[in-house]
């Protein structure tokens, strides 16, 4: 049996005959290379040929969740699939926006931010959600107090994606904030505030895409298609915004397998 095992598993470090002292004790630390290799042999010989895992059947009875991710987007509701001409126009508009952002980035980066604008750190997910969406939307508060009509409270309403803000973001920050907002969108509804920020961040995303950005925008397009198909009121403005996100991801960033079939 031992010779058969050796034929299937040849020795990487063969140990020849060696003179070991009569008082050789395999339980004490080896003193020579020969003693070390001999000790490895003795330990391997004591291992069983077959090992059976001990599994508790009670744990297998518990409800288990399996996440399945589809590769493509769900088709648009009947009558709401965007035309190819519309998609091409959106890509052209988006390309022009990106060129303007790149052209004037240094100018806007040099502009002073208002004293009430404090950009969170890149990894501060909760901070960015509140910054972009506002404490009101973040906390899901639907009512206003009487003094809120005196002016816009950006802390409560969220800061818009001003060029003076997004121009200060490097690619790592753009990707991180995009991830934070997509995580939010994974459990919440689509809102105009979210849409504006997603559009602005996509406009700042450099090509060729980094792997993490590539995965994020595909996740965004699939999520938009899921929300779109569940849109009960068939709000045309809402569906158009979701169509736009899918269009930019698929047509501009070359994720063609996610593209809507023209109506």
Does domain 84-141+152-258 match CATH 3.40.30.10?
Answer: no
What average pLDDT score do residues 31-45 get? Answer: 75
State residue 34's pLDDT score.
75
**pLDDT single digits (tens) 47-62:** 777 777 777 666 555 5
The full 3-state SS of the chain, as one line of letters, equals: CHHHHHHHCCCCCCCCCCCCCCCCCCCCCCCCHHHHHHHHHHHHHCCCCCCCCCCCHHHHCCCCCCCCCCCCCCCCCCCCCCCHHHHHHHHHHHHHHHHHHHHHHHHHHCCCCCCCCCCCCCCCHHHHHHHHHHHHHHCCCCCCCHHHHHCCCHHHHCCCCCHHHHCCCCHHHHHHHHHHHHHHHCCCCCCHHHHHHHHHHHHHCCCCCCHHHHHHHHHHHHHHHHHHHCCCCCCHHHHHHHHHHHHHHHHHCCCHHHCCCCC
Average pLDDT across the chain, whole number = 82
Q: Is residue 112 very low, low, confident or very high in pLDDT (cuts 50, 70, 90)?
A: confident
Q: Is residue 28 very low, low, confident or very high in pLDDT (cuts 50, 70, 90)?
A: confident
State residue 31's pLDDT score.
76
**pLDDT single digits (tens) 129-169:** 999 998 777 676 554 444 445 456 777 888 999 999 999 99
Contact assessment for residue 213 and residue 58, using Cβ atoms and an 8 Å cutoff: no
State residue 258's pLDDT score.
94
Any residues with CB less than 8 A from the CB of 238 and at least 6 apart, and which?
A: 190, 231
State residue 147's pLDDT score.
47
Cα separations in angstroms, 28 against 16, 25, 36, 47, 124 = 21, 6, 10, 19, 52
pTM: 0.69
Extents of the domains making up the chain: 84-141+152-258
Any residues with CB less than 8 A from the CB of 228 and at least 6 apart, and which?
A: 74, 76, 77, 80, 239, 242, 243, 246
What average pLDDT score do residues 113-125 get? Answer: 89
State residue 251's pLDDT score.
96
């Amino acid at each position: 049996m031992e010779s058969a095992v050796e034929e299937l598993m040849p020795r990487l470090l063969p140990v020849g005959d060696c003179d070991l002292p009569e008082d050789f004790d395999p339980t004490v630390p080896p003193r020579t290379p020969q003693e070390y290799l001999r000790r490895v042999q003795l330990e391997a010989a004591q291992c069983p040929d077959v090992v059976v895992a001990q599994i508790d059947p009670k744990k297998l009875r518990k409800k288990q969740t399996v996440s399945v991710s589809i590769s493509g987007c769900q088709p648009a509701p009947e009558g709401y699939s965007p035309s190819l001409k519309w998609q091409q126009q959106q890509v052209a508009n988006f390309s022009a926006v990106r060129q303007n952002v790149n052209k004037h980035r240094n100018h806007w980066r040099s502009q002073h931010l208002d004293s009430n604008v404090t950009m969170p750190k890149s990894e501060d997910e909760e901070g960015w959600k509140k910054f972009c969406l506002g404490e009101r939307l973040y906390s899901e508060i639907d009512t206003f107090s009487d003094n809120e009509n005196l002016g816009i409270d950006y802390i409560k309403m969220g800061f818009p994606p001003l060029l003076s803000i997004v121009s200060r973001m490097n690619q790592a920050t753009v990707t991180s904030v995009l991830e934070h907002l997509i995580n939010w969108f994974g459990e919440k509804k689509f809102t105009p505030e979210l849409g504006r920020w997603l559009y602005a961040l996509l406009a700042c995303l450099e090509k060729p895409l980094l792997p993490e950005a590539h995965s994020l925008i595909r996740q965004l397009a699939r999520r938009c298609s899921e929300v779109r198909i569940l849109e009960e009121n068939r709000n045309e403005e809402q569906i158009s915004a979701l169509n736009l996100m899918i269009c930019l991801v698929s047509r501009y960033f070359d994720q063609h397998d996610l593209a809507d079939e023209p109506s």
